[in-house]
Amino acid sequence: MKKHLLTLLFFIPLLSIAQSNYKKGYVVNLKGDTLRGYIDYKEWEHNPRNIHFKDALNNKPRQLGTNDINYFEISGLEYYERYSLKISTDAVDLANAPNGIDTSSRTDTVFLKILEKGKHVTLYAFNDAIKNRFFIKEHDILVPQELIYRVHLDSNKGNELIAENIYYRQLNALAIKQSPDPKGLIHQTKYLSYREPELVRFIAMVNGEGSNMKKKLKNIGRNRYFVGTGLNTSTLTYVGNGPFPNGSSSSSNSPLLTFGFDSFTNPNVGRLLFRVEMAFTRDDFTFANSTNTRIQEITKFNAAIIAQLIYNFYNTDNLKVFLGAGLSLNLSTYPTNDLTITNLSTTQTIHNFGVTQNFWAAAPIKAGIVLNKHFELYTTYIKPFGNMMTDLITYHIEQATYQFGVNFLLGKKK
Q: Domain 223-410: give its CATH code.
A: 2.40.160.20
Rounded mean pLDDT, 284-301: 93
Rounded mean pLDDT, 226-246: 94
Note the pLDDT of residue 213.
Answer: 59
Note the pLDDT of residue 215.
Answer: 54
Note the pLDDT of residue 33.
Answer: 95
In this predicted structure, the answer to whether residue 217 has a pLDDT above a threshold of 70 is no
Note the pLDDT of residue 94.
Answer: 79
In this predicted structure, the answer to whether residue 180 has a pLDDT above a threshold of 80 is no
Note the pLDDT of residue 343.
Answer: 87
Rounded mean pLDDT, 83-99: 90
**pLDDT-based confidence at residue 51 (cuts at 50, 70, 90):** very high
The pLDDT mean for the chain works out to: 89
**pLDDT-based confidence at residue 294 (cuts at 50, 70, 90):** very high
Q: E-assigned strands of 58-164?
A: 62-65, 69-74, 78-88, 105-117, 121-127, 132-138, 145-147, 150-154, 160-164
Question: Of 258, 369, 261, 285, nearest to 320 (Cα)?
Answer: 369
CA dihedral 151, 153, 158, 162 (to 10 degrees): -10
**With a threshold of 0.85, does the pTM exceed it?**
no
In this predicted structure, the answer to whether residue 105 has a pLDDT above a threshold of 90 is yes
In this predicted structure, the answer to whether residue 16 has a pLDDT above a threshold of 70 is no
CA dihedral 77, 322, 130, 158 (to 10 degrees): 120
In this predicted structure, the answer to whether residue 57 has a pLDDT above a threshold of 80 is yes
Lowest mean pLDDT, pick from 25-29, 185-189, 268-272, 387-391: 387-391
Q: Which residue has the higher pLDDT, 215 or 289?
A: 289
Rounded mean pLDDT, 337-353: 90
Note the pLDDT of residue 1.
Answer: 52
In this predicted structure, the answer to whether residue 170 has a pLDDT above a threshold of 80 is yes
Domain ranges (residues) in the chain: 76-216, 223-410
Pairs from 187-196 (Cβ < 8 Å, separation ≥ 24):
192/167, 192/168, 194/134, 194/147, 194/149, 194/165, 194/167, 196/115, 196/125, 196/132, 196/134
Percentage of the chain modeled with pLDDT above 70: 91
In this predicted structure, the answer to whether residue 15 has a pLDDT above a threshold of 90 is no
In this predicted structure, the answer to whether residue 235 has a pLDDT above a threshold of 90 is yes
In this predicted structure, the answer to whether residue 181 has a pLDDT above a threshold of 80 is no
Strand partners, 134: 125, 147
Q: What is the C-alpha to C-alpha distance for residues 360 and 354, in angstroms, rounded to an integer? A: 16
The torsion angles phi and psi of 55, rounded to 5 degrees, stand at -85, -15
In this predicted structure, the answer to whether residue 20 has a pLDDT above a threshold of 80 is no
Note the pLDDT of residue 414.
Answer: 52
Q: What are the residue ranges of helices labelled H in 308-397? A: none
